Copies of this chain bind each other. A is one copy, B any other.
Amino acid sequence: MSKFTAQASDATGIATIRTLAADIVGKANSGHPGAPMGMAPVAHVLFTRFINANPKNSKWFNRDRFVLSNGHACALLYILLHLTGYKLSLDDLKAFRQIDSLTPGHPEARHTDGIEVTTGPLGQGISNAVGLAIAQTHLAAEFNRDGFELIDNYTYAFLGDGCLQEGVSSEACSLAGHLQLGNLIAIWDDNHISIDGDTKVAFTENVEQRYLAYGWQVLHVDNGDSDLESIYNAIAAARQEKSKPTLIRLHTTIGFGSKLQGTHGVHGSPLKADDIAALKAKNGFDPKASFVVPQATYDAYAEVGKRGAALEAKWNALLQGYAQNYPTEHAELTRRISGKLPADWEKTLPIYKASDAAQASRKLSEIVLTAITPKLPELLGGSADLTGSNLTKVKGSEDFQPPSTGLGSYKGTYIRYGVREHGMGAIANGIAAYGGIIPFVATFLNFVSYAAGAVRLSALSGHRVIWVATHDSIGLGEDGPTHQPIETAIHFRATPNLAFWRPADGNETSAAYKVALESESTPSILSLSRQNLPNLETSTIEKASRGGYVVNEEEKEDLTIVSTGSEVSIALEAAFELKKQGLKTRVVSLPCWLVFDKQPEEYRLSVLRSGAPILSLEAYSTAGWAKYSHEQYGLAGWGASGPYKQVYEKFGITGPNIAKVGKKVVDFYKAKGGEVVSPLVKAFQL
């Protein structure tokens, strides 16, 4: 094991971080100085001694990943990025928490150079880190060869007491232990303070024992405020343990150096001016000067950049050698790193005719996965213990498991997530953030809500994560209202940059996968049925890929019914009924609002056109449907437990009843008179 060598620049570097953190939060008059000041020593040791990354190319693939799970401490991260030479200037630090700055209140991936994952919502970052470590482990197993250890980075995460209390991290860390992720190193800022004060008011569990129970290595540093050697040794020991993730419990003093150090007074409020001045004086800085970085600090951190650039150069040379020795693997690895799908992959998508047998869309999803997987080895799937119900495990696929379990290998492409939806979602975000892999995850649609915190961050960060969300309505039948989603669709439809797909048949299911996989920076939820759905006469992958299209066209219609998923065929039944009564009914399928909304106005207005009333039909809450329709049919309350056809009957979602409702709508608008204008015609667009 390597040994710690103290540098003259260490004290200055740490003091620079502490004073800068105070200045940054002070100037913004908003933010969290305490954790950055307390974690300055460990951050300094980690970045100057261990982190392998090239600040001049933040996307170098084999870089160590650093995650600040306690994202409110982002002043620390911004300082580190600035010192090591990422695209973040001192002026950017001065614009902390200001509109449109590169230094928002919590760190955002894809917004600021060098930020791996978006954090702030507690518990997410450490769970993302588990995903980052899974991705590294999997790609290493798949692509490394003797003498070509191309993928061998570490994932480091800082986390606070809050992250440890969140259930999402419990889920993810339990799985990380099971998976024996030796490249994952988490450092717990054990400062005994959270917003409510001393952690003893609510958090007295034995964290070390809990992590041992998960199968982690647990290390301990008594004095994280100044004992750099012990910090160094702990991280070095963590790196040496290759068969377990490591948690380092690091005792620190929150806001170290402030007059209020060790209290929650320094957690989430700027230090007072005199306190900042005293801090600077104590550290040998000019009390009157702000945002000072001594040249010695810049010099010390420049070494990090040099080390990283050299490592990347060495890695590029290794990659060249790999290209010569393993040209196929090289081509595949570089394609995977680019995030581009292979040419013609979409030709593997199943296509259906109306005469093909009715199938559940969860089954159609399985058929898609089976068809595309040979062409798309970047798919790394899994389910929260519902594999046989979600139908997500492609026949013959291997489990992603530690080889020692005898249950699979790290080359395996199927993850057994256990009953851990929120952890699964956050892990998938980390896998997607790593690159080279497209994760899909599965549970019942109703339980995607358990993972709402992770799904939201997926959308905000633009992770290509696909949720296979089966049992998507009252159509799941007997499991009843505890399992039948009502509010779920509109929740996710209202989330920006989240594609909620509800395909009506085989071609629409293929289309949902097509668009989801091609959307490099948008997560998707595929809402899939348990019950069988007939294939539509007019559906095609191309049409459904527009998010909405006309399934049944009529000239001079009396009514249009717009629907999704399992209710589209019921809308068609209703149209057929109405036809017998002399009423012409168009039927529109709208499988994805997000994608439909992006179509040209002319197209959208041709699908949901003026001239006749539009009735929406969906076996969910009607909330949100008034955007696309004049009248809305759906569920007014909860679902019910029973055989699914009877449940549909109970709520009037049958061809005959919807025909009756449609007739009422037609009569109402005829009686009302005047032109019926499409709801898409608006005074303004947001």
Asked if A646 lies at the interface with its beta carbon under 8 angstroms from chain B, I say: yes
**Is there a chain B Cβ closer than 8 Å to A631's Cβ?**
yes
Determine the distance from Cα of A336 to Cα of B399 in the docked complex, in whole angstroms. 54
CA distance A627 to B634 in the complex (A): 14
Picked from B204, B623, B664, the residue with its CB within 8 Å of the CB of A494 is B623
Closest B residue to A666 by beta carbon equals B683
Q: Which of A31, A457, A643 has the most CB of B within 10 A?
A: A643
Say yes or no for A388: interface residue by CB 8 A criterion: yes
Interface residue from B118, B178, B449, B450 paired with A202 (Cβ < 8 Å): B178
- Among the listed B166, B460, B632, B646, which residue makes an inter-chain contact with A420, where contact means beta carbons less than 8 Å apart? B166
Q: Which residues of B contact A490 (CB under 8 A)?
A: 490-491, 494, 623-624
Tell me, yes or no, whether A205 is within 8 Å of chain B by CB: yes
| Option from B478, B632, B633, B675 in Cβ contact (under 8 Å) with A28 | B478
Q: List chain A positions with a Cβ less than 8 A from chain B.
A: 28, 30-31, 71, 97-101, 104-106, 108, 118-123, 161-163, 165-171, 174-175, 177-178, 194-196, 200-210, 212-215, 383, 385-389, 399, 401, 405, 407, 416-423, 446-447, 449-450, 452-453, 456-457, 460, 477-483, 486-487, 490-497, 613, 621-624, 626-627, 630-638, 640-643, 646-647, 650, 661, 664-665, 667-669, 672, 674-675, 677, 679, 682-684, 686
With contact pairs A106-B482, A478-B28, A684-B665 given, residues A195 and B386 touching in the complex (Cβ less than 8 Å) = yes
Q: Closest B residue to A457 by CB, please name it.
A: B482
Q: Across the interface, do A481 and B494 meet the contact criterion of CB distance under 8 Å?
A: no
Q: Which residue of B lies closest to A408 (CB)?
A: B201
Alpha-carbon distance A504/B462, docked complex (angstroms): 34
Contact A166 B167 (CB under 8 A): yes
Q: Is there contact, CB below 8 Å, between B215 and A106?
A: no
Q: Cβ of A686 and Cβ of B636 under 8 Å apart?
A: yes
Q: Verify A106–B453 contact, CB threshold 8 A.
A: no
Inter-subunit contact A207/B213 (CB<8 Å): yes
A416 contact set on B, CB distance < 8 A: 196, 201-202
Chain B residues closer than 8 Å to A420, beta-carbon distance? 165-167, 202
Give CA–CA (A647, B650) in the complex, Å: 47
Most chain B CB within 10 A, of A119, A477, A492, A495, is at A495
What are 22 residue pairs bridging A and B, where the CB atoms are less than 8 Å apart in the complex?
Answer: A97-B480, A98-B643, A99-B641, A101-B641, A104-B481, A105-B482, A106-B483, A165-B385, A167-B167, A175-B202, A195-B387, A201-B399, A202-B385, A209-B213, A210-B210, A490-B494, A623-B623, A626-B679, A661-B684, A668-B682, A668-B684, A669-B683
Of B169, B622, B640, which one neighbours A686 at CB under 8 angstroms?
B622
Q: A167-B167, A201-B407, A422-B450 given. 9 additional CB < 8 A pairs?
A: A98-B642, A105-B483, A105-B641, A170-B170, A195-B387, A205-B213, A486-B496, A490-B491, A665-B683
Q: Could you say which of A202, A407, A478, A661 has the most chain B C-beta atoms within 10 Å of its C-beta?
A: A202
Q: Which residues of chain B are within 8 angstroms of A206 by Cβ–Cβ distance?
A: 212-215
Name the residue of chain B whose CB is nearest to the CB of A663. B683
